[in-house]
Amino acid sequence: MQFSYANPTVIHFGKGQIQQIANSIPTDAKVLVIYGGGSIKSNGVYDQVVSALANHQWQEFSGVEPNPTKETLDGAIDIVKRDGIGFILAVGGGSVIDGSKFVAAAALHKGDSWDIMSGKYRIQDAVPLGAILTLPATGSESNMGGVITKKATHEKLAFMAPACYPKFAVLDPEAMKTLPERQLVNGLVDAWVHVCEQYITLPTGSMVHDGYAEVLLRNLLKLGADFGNQDDAWRENLMWTANQALNGLIGTGMPQDWATHMIGHELTALWNVDHARSLAIVQPSLLRNQIESKRGKLEQMGHNVFGLEAGADLAERTIDAIDNFYASFALDTQLSEVPGDKTDAIESVVKKLINNGYTALGENQAITPDVSRAILERAL
Ligand code: NZQ
Ligand code: ZN
């Protein structure tokens, strides 16, 4: 094990914490509040933001869509550049927070914003930003990543830059009360796969990383089983678990996979499949395809997370248990957007993976385009 670790995002967790932004955002900075399609107006979050910013000079940009696009975000980038915005406040789910990070970074770049995604521009600095989270899922509120789509070309790509860590994140579980069931399930499943991507790899013997990943997975299993009995504690536990799943801690210094995400992103880019659903479609097939190299960790997960009996087929039964976990939710794990013969759809995904340079995915770089094709043939 060898790593350097810091997560600089200050977390304000719990009921009523939105008012903390009054002190966390410098009063001499012009603030741009960025949000999505308007859910924050139905759950009191917007009103709390307005009241907390009473002593700030601020304006707003709305309409950031799920799977945020460069085309929409360019509008916010223009405002930041034109009006000398000194602080960005993202209020929403992963899409709004990712989009705000992109805006924060692109506003300090003279060229086209997509240069960030194509690698032509390397992010050195960003306008400081903070986040108010309304949907526990991605961990974006306290990590340095973002995923942006270019509508024109159906590309969905990820970026990471230390300058994009939010300065603070408010996690008030009260905001979750207006979440539709579909988005709650999405959040739970996304957080689950985030842990899996950092855990079902090679045995490393790291007791802290493994033990922490396992407790997060057991939490999510339990929260899934209690899905029908949501109370304050249920919401608090989901919000904190999803945050911890992708704030960098359980992955630091560890081999990581992320192939499910990279293949899943292409399903979203091509057919607008919800992010979490794309993962549930791809992951079981990927695990079955890679079972020999992942057998040790799958067995460990079977024992420590699902409480399965030992046996030669423990890894296989662990994947079945993951399948059953997804089946316990109303989550369509078939790519129903593409009816009938899926051959052309699979070829489109493989072609996009090649174009994006994703030709050696996974912790062993073993998932070549041919392997991706085999995974998709089994998944779809
Ligand atoms: O736009 P509004 O009106 O706010 O509605 C949103 C949106 O329609 C709604 N919503 C959010 N909070 C709500 C609410 N509705 C009612 N009550 C609330 N409290 O939920 C819908 C989906 O929101 P979105 O932000 O798209 O969902 P999520 O948080 O799952 O984010 C998904 C995006 O994050 C990326 C994904 O690829 C996708 O683009 N990811 C980002 C990661 C990261 N930055 O580390 C990692 C992830 O693996 C993921 O790839
Ligand atoms: Zn994800």
How far apart, in whole angstroms, are the C-alpha atoms of residue 230 and residue 219?
14
Among 138, 144, 179, which residue has the most ligand 1 atoms within 8 Å of its CB, making it the best to mutate?
138
Domain 181-379 has CATH 1.20.1090.10: yes
Asked whether the beta carbons of 45 and 134 are under 8 A apart, the reply is: yes
With 90 as the cut, is the pLDDT of residue 330 above it?
no
Q: What integer pLDDT is reported at residue 272 of this predicted model?
A: 94
How crowded is the C-beta side of 294, counted as CA atoms within 13 Å? 30
C-alpha separations of 226 from 34, 166, 222 in Å: 33, 31, 6
Count of residues making up the chain? 380
Q: What integer pLDDT is reported at residue 227 of this predicted model?
A: 97
Q: What integer pLDDT is reported at residue 281 of this predicted model?
A: 97
Q: Is 274 in the pocket of ligand 1 (CB under 6 A)?
A: no
Q: Is 44 in the pocket of ligand 1 (CB under 6 A)?
A: no
- Per-domain boundaries in the chain: 10-175, 181-379
Q: What integer pLDDT is reported at residue 331 of this predicted model?
A: 87
Q: Regarding beta strands 168-171 and 155-160, do their DSSP bridges make them parallel or antiparallel, or are they unpaired?
A: unpaired
Between the CA of 22 and the centroid of ligand 2 the distance, in Å, is 30
For range 63-88, the mean pLDDT: 98
Between the CA of 232 and the centroid of ligand 2 the distance, in Å, is 24
Q: Is 179 in the pocket of ligand 1 (CB under 6 A)?
A: yes
For range 202-217, the mean pLDDT: 97
Identity of residue 54? A
User: Closest ligand to 138 CA?
Assistant: 1
3-state secondary structure of 154: coil
Q: What average pLDDT does the structure give for the chain?
A: 97
For range 346-352, the mean pLDDT: 97
Q: What integer pLDDT is reported at residue 339 of this predicted model?
A: 82
Identity of residue 345? A
Q: Is 37 in the pocket of ligand 1 (CB under 6 A)?
A: yes
Q: What is the pLDDT of residues 174-193, one digit of tens each?
A: 999 999 999 999 999 999 99
**Dihedral sign, CA of 354, 147, 76, 112?**
negative
Between the CA of 205 and the centroid of ligand 1 the distance, in Å, is 34
Closest atom of ligand 1 to 64 CA is 1
With 90 as the cut, is the pLDDT of residue 294 above it?
yes
Give the CATH number of domain 10-175: 3.40.50.1970
For range 156-185, the mean pLDDT: 97
Between the CA of 58 and the centroid of ligand 2 the distance, in Å, is 31
Q: What integer pLDDT is reported at residue 197 of this predicted model?
A: 98
Nearest CA residue ID for atom 47, ligand 1:
138
Between the CA of 308 and the centroid of ligand 2 the distance, in Å, is 26
Q: What integer pLDDT is reported at residue 260 of this predicted model?
A: 98
With 90 as the cut, is the pLDDT of residue 40 above it?
yes
Asked whether the beta carbons of 96 and 130 are under 8 A apart, the reply is: no
| Reported confidence tier of residue 334, pLDDT bands at 50, 70, 90 | confident
Q: What is the pLDDT of residues 239-291, one digit of tens each?
A: 999 999 999 999 999 999 999 999 999 999 999 999 999 999 999 999 999 99
Q: What integer pLDDT is reported at residue 67 of this predicted model?
A: 97
